[in-house]
Amino acid sequence: MQAQPHNTARDVAGLKVFVVEDESLVAMQLEDMLFDLGCEVVGLAMRLKRAHDMLDSGMAIDVAILDVNIGGEKIYPIATRLREAGIPIVFATGYGREGLETEWQVCPVLQKPYSASQIEHSILAVTD
């Protein structure tokens, strides 16, 4: 079987994405871009407690996009749970890679503001 090139929206179509973002306009825009890429947003949390509750529900997740700073709290407890479950993570932050703690530097970073193609590229980087 020949590998398919990863350069169209079809590549991420059908993936189940969990999003944690505390800015409502950014969250809605991200959700719209993921929808346009053919992804299914299976959860959108704007607070850490809600994110923990959603993870506790056992929903199926293919990849997570996480804002680093949620209401003044760092996202790392959620990221740790996702990593332990084997779920790939993409961080979204206005601070770029420098905004991540050292142990998370291996994860892709979406620098805010980002485009749909940057989202797609980041998702493909962790799901290939």
Report the number of secondary-structure helices (H) and strands (E) in the chain.
4, 7
Cα-atom radius of gyration of the chain, to the nearest Å?
Answer: 14
CATH number at residue 111: 3.40.50.2300
What integer is the mean pLDDT of 38-52? Answer: 97
DSSP H or E segment with residue 36: helix 24-36
Q: Tell me if 5 is assigned to some domain.
A: no
> pLDDT at residue 6 above 60?
no
Instruction: Give the burial class of 101: count Cβ atoms within 10 A of its Cβ; 0-12 exposed, 13-18 middle, 19 or more buried.
Output: exposed
User: How is residue 49 annotated by DSSP?
Assistant: H
What integer is the mean pLDDT of 110-126? Answer: 95
Q: Tell me if 1 is assigned to some domain.
A: no
Instruction: Write out the residue range of the structural domain in which residue 20 sits.
Output: 14-127
Confidence of residue 84 (pLDDT cuts 50, 70, 90): very high
What integer is the mean pLDDT of 35-51? Answer: 97
For residue 128, the model assigns a pLDDT of 78
Amino acid at site 33: M
Is-cis flag, bond preceding 113, omega within 30? yes
Phi, psi values for residue 64, rounded to 5°: -120, 140
* Count of C-beta atoms within a 10 Å radius of residue 14: 10
Give how many domains the chain has, as a whole number. 1
Q: Could you tell me whether strands 73-74 and 69-70 are parallel, antiparallel, or unpaired per DSSP bridges? A: antiparallel
> pLDDT at residue 7 above 60?
no
Confidence of residue 11 (pLDDT cuts 50, 70, 90): confident
Q: Tell me if 6 is assigned to some domain.
A: no
